[in-house]
Structures are given as structure tokens and as C-alpha cells.
Amino acid sequence: MGVIVGGGGYGPRLAAEIRRAGYPTIEYSWTPFNGGRRWVSPTDLDDVIKIFLEDGVTDLLHAGTFSVAQILLGGAPIFWRPATLAQVFLTRRGMRGGFFQPYDKRLETAGLRLRTAPELFDAYRPVRGAMGQTRPLSGELPRLARLKAIALGELARRDSQLHLPQAVIFDDEEPVHWERWGTDRLCRQARLTAKGAARRTLVKVLPPGMPPMLDPPTIGTHTVVEAKAAGVDVIALDTLHGLIIDRTATAAQADAAGIVLCGI
């Protein structure tokens, strides 16, 4: 049951939800400096799987890079045996080195169940169309579909060895800002440019080539705050692979900010 949380520091929120849902949890890290009892090396996946099975783990929860920092620095509680849910902290390192590509299949072959957060909690599942009371303009949904296609092309072209970007900001249908190190930084960058009369849209999608279980595009209330400061009028999230942290609260925040929150 693999739950993968993307960036934005939402890992602690999801971890709390999982504990409230009654899942016993073991937390792991790829690095030994977090002070926890358990850390595993990503150099040999067979050894990692052996550790999981020895600990009695049957289901896996993954977290993205920024979530790792939030959880470790925040001192989230660590729960040991017996465990049915393991929280596995992944970094982007080695993503293009071939380690992550067969990762999911090898875990499943070993009998470990993988899922996504939206499968566990309905509140984390984005839905197609407007998710709040602020409605799209006439003809906006076809425009957003076009922007999604453009964003996928832009992100594929700007991919790098160190980071797989997930977000693009458009003024009308012109891409003007591309994510490099997180959506918050992207929005802060966009504050520096005037949009004029253009309709500014933040599109967040799973980039081509990224395994959907690795780091899904994620938004929450904090995303809305940063987007508002950047002059964003519409936030469009990939409904196939996206993750929304508390859909009701995020939609309400978007309504208060006058932003259309839309699943595409």
C-alpha cells in the first residue's frame, strides 16, 4: 500500500492522517542522520526489501524530498512493530540512474502492497472540474486542457538529472515561469513579473518519465496562499496522478482568494 507524498512539506499532515486512521507505522530514511532507529541504503534494493519483510511490513507509504525535511526537522513520532504501513522517505538522487524505474515492480514482486494517498483518503483525491465555488470562465476547461498538454511538453523539455519539475505558470496561453525547485519558489519567482490583463494559471502535472508512485504533483492550502501572492487566477491540478491535501479546506482557501481550483 504505497502512499507517495510529493513536495511542499505535506508529509507530516499525511502521516498524522495515517496514524488517526489506525495504521501502525514504521518510519525509514535513506540517510542515517535523522536520529531514528531505522535507516536503509538505496544502493541495494534487495537488502532494503529484506529489512521491510523482517520488520513485518506489508504496505508502504512514500514521501517526497521536501516532506522528508519537514518530518525529520519536525520530530514526528516514530512507531515500531508491529507495522502494516511503512513510511519510506525517498530523495530525488539517483532518479535517472535506473534505481527508481524498476522500484515499484520489485516491491510488488516481493509481496509489498503499494497505493496512493487518494486511495486511502477521499479528501486527498482531486476531482475533475471546479473543486470550489469559484467557477471557471466560459470556455476555460478546454483552455486548461490545452495548457496541460503544453505544460507536459515544457516539463519534458526542461527535465534534468537533479530534478523533475512539475509545474508551469501561464499568462493566458503563454508559459512564463517553469518550476525548478518547488512550486512555492515558482510562485515567488512569478511575483516579480507583471501579468497585465492576462489570466494567470498555475498548472501542476506529473512530468513525463516520472513513475507515478514516486512524487505525485501535490497542492494544499499553502499552495493557494503562494499562488494568490503571485497573481494566479486559476490553479489546475492533474486528476490522474495528483494529490490534494484536504480538498474541502483547499477549495475554501481558493474561494476566499478568488482563485478557480480545477482538476484537469
Q: What is the pLDDT of residues 218-260, one digit of tens each?
A: 888 989 999 999 999 999 999 988 888 889 999 999 999 999 9
Looking at residue 255, its pLDDT comes to: 97
Digit-coded pLDDT (tens) for 39-53? 544 456 677 677 777
Q: What are the residue boundaries of the structural domains of the chain, listed by start?
A: 3-121, 125-263
Confidence of residue 123 (pLDDT cuts 50, 70, 90): confident
188 dihedral zone (left: phi>0; alpha: psi -120 to 50; beta): alpha
**Closest Cα partner for 206 from 175, 176, 179?**
179
Confidence of residue 134 (pLDDT cuts 50, 70, 90): very high
Confidence of residue 115 (pLDDT cuts 50, 70, 90): low
Instruction: Report the pLDDT averaged over residues 96-105.
Output: 49
CATH, domain range 125-263: 3.40.140.80
Contact between 44 and 148 under an 8 Å Cβ cutoff? The reply is no
Instruction: Report the pLDDT averaged over residues 117-146.
Output: 87
**Closest Cα partner for 222 from 247, 259, 250, 242?**
250
Helix (H, G, I), strand (E, B) or coil at 53: helix
Report the C-alpha gap between 4 and 12 in whole angstroms: 12
Looking at residue 162, its pLDDT comes to: 43
**pLDDT-above-90 percentage for the chain:** 31
pTM of the model: 0.71
Max CA distance (Å), the chain:
60
Report the C-alpha gap between 254 and 257 in whole angstroms: 5
